[in-house]
Structure 1
């Protein structure tokens, strides 16, 4: 899923220069609702902050940009007379955290839209004049330190609502910020997308800071903090305020060297195009029978790889070259081309082999380590069948309601902190893929009852962390886990249940060998050897075999 890009470049230094200059506010003309469309949209706040604003931006069916106001009407942007003219205030105050929220009725289709949230203060939007007979350009919050919204705590989700369907999406292609969740009712049934797990934003920021200490690349510069040191958001490397220079250069040199003598085969995964094989000659990767559309596959730069959209990785759309470029982009971001199966893309490697090279897209690696849904770069959906990360979208051809919630739970300490202090009952079913942090594991589609995702590629040294499990006043007696294993004979391991850290007090240990298959599920109970009351973080640590030995679907605690 490719995240919709900002309509125009962000304000930058020009915005800063204009902030102290009085400017005329352009009028926005409400557009009469077309007969027929009607969709109740409820905007909720569970962030812990009582000062939260929402905005709904997009274009109407005539491609005119504008805002949905608090009245539910779509207001088209007037064409201003000067650049970076402030937009009138169409903020929607959401009231106290945990309240019923605000419900609007969308009476007009909105294309290429976003639902924005900000904490503590309002977002500043601007508009640029139309160029060459086109439409005025909405200037949204962006990625420059000179942007007036740089120190505002904001986030968004994306959507399009037209005659065909409602499609709403949470993506991390551009950034990770405060958590947003969504739910719909309609012809497709009841659907929901979970928020970023509690603590995930901080864990992502800490992981990038640690990676900078390892390799010296400016991963730490992707972390945006306010004046108190609170993490507001983490930017994707394509929006880094500091250049990554030739970061991918040594890896690309090795790849180009390998495929001088070894053919690289790329399956477009489109029956109309098939597969293409190529080798490197005179610095150009040439695929036999592929129309290169005038753009040769020369060595891509670091910026080309992060963006998946420039240089030799330029992608013009739905042709064969675009399909090859998308798969090369994914393989380069995941650093899989030097692996034993890397000459067969994308089927020659598994998700458990992604991001293992020292030179890789560590932002994407850490996003998937800390979030159970969401793409981390434009072609994150590329991969063997069933291996793509969950993309965090809802789609309904005839929606009857849509709810977008800002915040990670029913309670919390504020926006921007990954959900604040929300808790989860230790006696409910905790999905393994809902971890708030982890080490050395991957998620995959699960065929067990209930479906969803399981956590696999688990071996000694891996761990999973779950924030804020509430045990209540009395300690449970048992721990139960839904497990599967296709490990070979002689391979086994243990699952330790620990409190508050991967090395904290141990409550229980389950030892496991093969159950007959990686999707052959069994519920395994074990009595607790320790006790827990109140709220704790719970860690599952894995010991024993250095080979993968178990998959985990869910777990829970029992008082009996």
Structure 2
């Protein structure tokens, strides 16, 4: 079965809350409540005429089951033998091009997943539960012996209860077909579309190149069908080939370094505070930290990838668990030996992640190509104030939820087929995908929201921008900055991906304040005609250096 790092609780918060970083609901959540009926639209924009959806979850009575095409929850019966096929609860989506089905979820559900498959149906099985207990659901697995191995499948996760709708896209287990989401309700119109076209293949190619560079079995994470078409890219925890002692040289260097240098880990929870330790006798000991009998000895490669075994096992919502999570993140990202690495997690910023030759290259490539979305179990750990990297929607009183397989959730039947003219004013907050950043109320003319908390490594994506038949002459951005003296950065305009063709760059420094707005034009240095996904990528300072209100293009 798949790991459930992002398993959602009945309280409507993610397991990140156990680490002292709870996901907070808007203030209006106290006055609004999610109704026990939620309109859900499932769209097919995969490019394949045969696609199916499945909804698995647990109801308020604690029963595991499926939601059918009628929106009704069907509890899973307790079978008499293991691996008993589950009744067919597939929801056919119809041909590609944005077609799909609409239904109404007629009750609260927790720990849910919306699965999609292309071409073939997913085969689910049930195992008998203990006497008086609930049956177990056997989901698609990660070995070639699994009956769904050659099926093209993907999923997103959700909880829907009186507190809120919380839905997210995660790459902790795999990268597969793009899934996008949109919701409306008390929190406004929200969208998550973190996987740009071509990202899965780019990640697969990057893993093949990494294997050629270091000999580790990164290439074995790529699963293709007999025709060579990409089915999925597995996370290292599901690798069919062992990574052996891949992390050992890096761990040895880290343990050696902190024999004479203190390592401080801030739990980012006021109840626990920070702990400082050093290595003695191959044990990393933090003064005053109860390790529950499991010391921080040198972790193995599998311990680091899983963030859940050996010395990195997580003991739950306590101080040891918070320290283990932050050590896990630092080891996956290779940040412990960098300047500032002795202060975790805030001593090293996102722009410095994955720079060591020995690192989690799957996570590196996910964040380089797929934008937001967890790439390992504690990818939520980061410097205080850094926006989360997960791709999620959260609304205390949702009125609609749309999920699209293979495209942007545009509502209706468009499936993301509509375009936006490059010559209109495009709000920065209208992004369809992002890496880092947050939005805030804007004091500029026109009001609305601006995008802030921008530093090197962040990016914003905008779907289907139409430049017409002639390349515009200028890219124009509305910016503000209250950055400190000497802090500056650049806004790169790229086409069709965060690392796509660069056609312009605007350099930004202090404008006199974070709400002191200035319109900055720059000539394009590359061609842009027709329809493209547009990406604004940010380079330069690891500290916040710019706010962005809107942008547009000019033909003159």
State TM-score, norm by structure 1.
0.81
Q: Structure 2 matches for 1:105-144, cutoff 5 A?
A: 105-144=104-143
User: What per-residue deviation string (whole Å, max 9, x for no partner) do you get for residues 257-281 of structure 1?
Assistant: 1111112111111111111111111
1: CA distance, partners of 2:502 / 2:273: 52
- Within a 5 Å distance, the mapping from 1:14-93 to structure 2 comes to 37-93=36-92
Find the partner of 2:530 among 529, 534, 556: 534
1:118 & 1:328 partners in 2: Cα distance? 36
Alpha-carbon spacing, 1:448–1:551, altered in 2? closer, same or farther (3 Å): farther
Which residue is equivalent to 1:480?
Answer: 476
Between 84-93 and 393-402, report the one with greater CA deviation. Answer: 393-402
Residue number in structure 2 paired with 1:3 = 6
Distance in 2, matches of 1:240 and 1:292, equals: 30
Find the residue that maps to 1:323 and give its secondary structure: helix
Distance 1:284 1:559 in 2: 64
Q: CA deviation at 1:421?
A: 9.6
Measured after TM superposition, the shift of residue 467 of structure 1 is 8.5
CA distance in 2: counterparts of 1:74 and 1:499, whole angstroms:
43
| Alignment-derived partner of residue 28 in structure 1 | none
Deviation, 1:492, is: 8.2
**Aligned-partner SS, 2:375:** coil
Instruction: State the secondary structure of the residue aligned to 1:261.
Output: coil
- Within 2, Cα distance between the matches of 1:399 and 1:533? 38
When residues 504 and 215 of structure 1 are mapped into structure 2, their CA distance, relative to the original with a 3 A threshold, is closer
Counterpart Cα distance in 2 of 1:276 and 1:133: 44
Structure 2 residue corresponding to 1:556, chosen from 543, 552, 556: 552
Q: Are residues 1:264 and 2:274 paired?
A: no
SS at 2:259's partner residue?
A: helix
SS at match of 1:50: coil
Contact 1:247 1:302 in 2 (8 A): yes
Shift of 1:181: 1.7
Q: CA deviation at 1:87?
A: 1.0
User: How many angstroms does 1:464 deviate by?
Assistant: 9.9
Give deviations 1:273-324, integer Å, cap 9, x for gaps.
1111111111111111111111111111111111111111111211111111
Q: Deviations over 1:126-184 (max 9, x none)?
A: 11111354211111112112212122111111011223322211111111211112222
For the residues of structure 2 that align with 1:326 and 1:207, how far apart are their CA atoms?
Answer: 27
Residue deviations 1:385-429 (CA, integer Å, cap 9, x gap) = 222433222222332222222122489xxxxxxx99997644453
Alignment-derived partner of residue 222 in structure 2: 223
Does residue 95 of the first structure (1) align with residue 91 of the second (2)? Answer: no
Q: Which residue number corresponds to residue 353 of structure 1? A: 352
User: C-alpha displacement at 1:124, in angstroms?
Assistant: 0.9
In structure 2, distance between residues paired with 1:160 and 1:235: 24
Distance 1:493 1:269 in 2: 28
User: Whole-Å Cα distance in 1 between the matches of residues 234 and 223 of structure 2?
Assistant: 8
Deviations 1:51-107 (A, max 9, x none): 111100011223221111112211111122221111111101111334453122222
- Gap change, CA 1:160 and 1:496, over 3 Å in 2: closer
Structure 1: 5+ residue stretches without partners = 6-35, 412-418
Contact 1:515 1:521 (8 Å CA) reproduced: yes
- For 1:480 and 1:204, locate their aligned partners in 2 and report how far apart those are by CA, in whole Å: 32
Please say if 1:292 is aligned against 2:299: no
Aligned length: 514
SS state at 1:457 partner:
coil
Measured after TM superposition, the shift of residue 463 of structure 1 is 11
1:29 is aligned to none
Partner of 1:456: 455
260-269 or 518-527, which deviates more: 518-527
Deviation, structure 1 residue 435: 9.9
SS at match of 1:327: helix
Is 1:266–1:345's contact at 8 Å kept on the other side of the alignment? yes
SS for the counterpart of 2:252 is: helix
Counterpart in the other structure of 1:378: 377
The match for 2:300 is 301
Task: Verify the 8 A CA contact 2:194 2:373 in the aligned structure 1.
Answer: no
Of 515, 520, 523, the residue aligned with 2:519 is 523
- Following the alignment from structure 1 to structure 2, what is the Cα–Cα distance between the partners of residues 399 and 422? 24
Distance 1:267 1:433, change over 3 A: farther
Structure 1 contact 432–454 (Cα < 8 Å) conserved = no
State the match for 1:12 in structure 2: none
Alpha carbons 2:491, 2:506 under 8 Å: kept: yes
SS at match of 1:260: coil
Report deviation, 1:357: 0.9
Note closer, same or farther for the CA distance 1:468–1:166 as it changes in structure 2 (3 Å cut).
Answer: closer
Q: After superposition, what is the alpha-carbon deviation per residue over 1:7-49, rounded to whole angstroms, capped at 9, x for unaligned?
A: xxxxxxxxxxxxxxxxxxxxxxxxxxxxx82222221222222
Measure, in 2, the Cα distance between the counterparts of 1:295 and 1:342. 24
Q: Which has the larger radius of gyration?
A: 1
SS at match of 1:101: strand
**Counterpart of 2:129 in 1: which secondary structure?**
coil
C-alpha change, 1:161 and 1:226, in structure 2 (3 Å) is same
Question: Residues 288 and 409 of structure 1: is their aligned pair in 2 closer, same or farther, counting only changes over 3 Å?
Answer: closer
- 1:107-126 Cα shifts (integer Å, max 9, x gaps): 22222110011111111111
Q: TM-score, normalised by structure 2?
A: 0.81
Structure 2: 5+ residue stretches without partners: 9-34, 443-448
8 A contact 1:266–1:324 mirrored in 2: yes
Structure 2 match to 1:317: 316
Q: How does 1:409-448 map to 2 (within 5 A)?
A: 409=408, 425-427=421-423, 429=426, 443-445=436-438
Q: Is the 1:370–1:436 Cα contact (8 Å) retained in structure 2?
A: no
For 1:426 and 1:379, locate their aligned partners in 2 and report how far apart those are by CA, in whole Å: 38
Distance across 1 between alignment mates of 2:72 and 2:335? 49
Assess if the C-alpha contact under 8 Å between 2:181 and 2:409 holds in 1: no
Q: Verify the 8 A CA contact 2:423 2:467 in the aligned structure 1.
A: yes
- Would you say the 8 A contact 2:192–2:433 is kept in 1? no
Q: How does 1:148-163 map to 2 (within 5 A)?
A: 148-163=147-162
Match of 1:414 in 2: none
